[in-house]
Amino acid sequence: MRRLLIGSVTVLAVMLAGCSTRSDDDSNTGAGQTTPAAGASTASADLGTLKNVCGAGTAKSSTVQGVTDKSIQVGVMSDVGFTKKSEFVDAAKVFTEWCNDAGGINGRKIEPVTRDTKLMEVRQRVLEACKSDFALVGGGAALDNLGVQDRLKCLLPNFPGQSSQIGAIGSDLQVVAAQPTAGYFSYAGYFTWLLKEKYPASAQKVGVIAGDVPVTKVISAQFKEAIPALGGKVSYSDLYPAAGVSDWTPYAQSIKSRGVKGLVFLGDFASLAKLEQALTNIGYTPDWIDANSNAYGPAFQQLAGAALAKQHNYAELFATAPLESAAENPATQQVIDLFKKYAPDKQITYPVLRAFSAWLLFATSARDCAELTRKCVYDNALKQTAWTAGGLQAPFDLSSKVPTKCYSVVEATTKGWQPADFDPDQGAYRCDAPVYKYKGNYGEPATLASVGKSLSDLT
């Protein structure tokens, strides 16, 4: 899922979990966006390996909230009113228009309703959704924990494109089509590769720098627990003011004086770009910098500029195929083609790919219900033990509470992001990640029991 108090929250929204998955550029040119393949068709109801995702049918009248004989109303959570980033809204538009053109879900048209949280109004939007939506699909709010209790009270299923906070990640009635997984370090394979294979000399000299806000301090603590367990040592740790830093040179000098060889940055990528410029200016280059998926997109490249010729930036994409691999990945190419048809002025970002996976999961789970109910859709989603979203991501067992062993890594260069040389063994992915479960207590996901409900109440 970032200067007043709200300014601090702005920075926080970008930092969350190192897995806030936003690009900060809304230009027409997305990362890795390519020209549609010759003869590609967007009229098909198939996406990648998924067949007949949507289609015609004769739907019956229904008393289920949000469902009629002609439509299904779903909510799309988004901080768009605050961030001005419309990724989840764009993905909803493109997917539903494509699906509806193909006949909808068994003849019912999908009607997405944007639930604009404006960052701090998560609870208000969830309460609104509770009154009229069938489910929440393909969205995300940086402060999603603010609404999770109310969502559970009204038994509203959620198929998010992004889940950010500890209370929401792994919560009941929520099915995330990819990681993160509650209670586990989601970057174990990525950091094992960095520390033991790509840059073994960096392992004992890892630095962690994070924004000085409570949530990010927790995330920093998680990294400082996991990195030693994976064979590294955190030799340097620092915080920077959430309101921003006017001069990053002192931080760069500290990193240099401590001999940091690998740097984990938990913050907004605009600040990271300034830090890397400062590092370059003093002539210091760590072996690697974990920019995290928040930086994946053209904006970071533009902001960091010439520093990318010196600094080595990487990011893990939670086993999602990079946009840059579209030529070898038909499902990714098809999403690009669909955007060119239905939203040609919008950028395709990593959150868009995650949202598409969520939409595909919801649509196919609803399609397979003889009678469309929340329980049926939720149960069908959990039956997916090797979900790939038609090829948009590595297989993921949605019934499991253990993270996937697969991961993908991209590298930032002066020419843009590109797949890193991390020895993938299954297409765009490498699938040998160790599993690391946190030993520290960082909080628990919300449950139905915590609001006096159970799965037997779901209908």
pLDDT in tens, the chain (459 residues): 332 222 333 344 344 433 444 444 443 333 333 333 333 334 589 999 999 999 999 888 899 999 999 999 999 999 999 999 999 999 999 999 999 999 999 999 999 999 999 999 999 999 999 999 999 999 999 999 999 999 999 999 999 999 989 999 999 999 999 888 999 999 999 999 999 999 999 999 999 999 998 878 999 999 999 999 999 999 999 999 988 899 999 999 999 999 999 999 999 999 999 999 999 999 999 999 999 998 999 999 999 999 999 999 999 998 999 999 999 999 999 999 999 999 999 999 999 999 999 999 999 999 999 999 999 999 999 999 999 999 999 999 999 999 999 999 999 999 999 999 999 999 999 999 999 999 999 999 999 999 999 999 999
The answer to whether residue 89 is domain-embedded is yes
Residue linked to tokens 């960052």: 119
**Do 374 and 407 fall into the same domain?**
no
**Do 248 and 282 fall into the same domain?**
yes
**Do 242 and 310 fall into the same domain?**
yes
**Do 124 and 95 fall into the same domain?**
yes
386 phi and psi angles, rounded to 5 deg: -150, 55
**Do 263 and 410 fall into the same domain?**
yes
The answer to whether residue 435 is domain-embedded is no
**Do 207 and 113 fall into the same domain?**
no
Structure tokens belonging to residue 234: 């955190």
Q: Mind giving me the DSSP string for 90-151?
A: HHHHHHHHHHHHTTTBTTBEEEEEEEE-TTT-HHHHHHHHHHH-SEEES---TTTHHHHHHH
Report pLDDT for 43. 55
The answer to whether residue 368 is domain-embedded is yes
What are 424-429's contacts with CB under 8 Å, separation 24+?
426/394, 427/321, 427/328, 427/329, 427/394, 428/321, 428/322, 428/325, 428/328, 428/329, 428/394, 429/319, 429/321, 429/394
Report pLDDT for 179. 82
The answer to whether residue 436 is domain-embedded is no
User: In the chain, what is the straight-line distance between the N-terminal and C-terminal CA atoms, in Å?
Assistant: 30
Total number of domains in the chain: 2
Domain that holds residue 47: 5-27+41-182+323-402+443-457
Structure tokens belonging to residue 77: 């959570």
**Do 95 and 158 fall into the same domain?**
yes
Alpha helix (H) ranges present in 343-437?
350-367, 374-382
Report pLDDT for 33. 39
Report pLDDT for 28. 35
The answer to whether residue 429 is domain-embedded is no
The answer to whether residue 433 is domain-embedded is no
The answer to whether residue 236 is domain-embedded is yes
Hey, is 266 helix, strand or coil?
Answer: strand
What are 34-38's contacts with CB under 8 Å, separation 24+?
34/326, 34/327, 34/333, 34/336, 36/333, 36/336, 36/337, 36/340, 37/333, 37/337
CATH number of the domain that 274 lies in? Answer: 3.40.50.2300
Name every residue whose Cβ is closer than 8 Å to that of residue 146 and which is 6 or more positions away in sequence. 120, 122, 123
User: Residues 114, 128: contact at Cβ < 8 Å?
Assistant: no
**Do 177 and 197 fall into the same domain?**
no
User: Residues 128, 80: contact at Cβ < 8 Å?
Assistant: no
**Do 198 and 160 fall into the same domain?**
no
Output b/e per residue, 225-251; b: 16+ Cβ within 10 A.
bbbeebebebebbbbbebebbeebeeb
Structure tokens belonging to residue 325: 């691999």
**Do 71 and 162 fall into the same domain?**
yes
**Do 256 and 151 fall into the same domain?**
no
The answer to whether residue 219 is domain-embedded is yes
**Do 132 and 176 fall into the same domain?**
yes
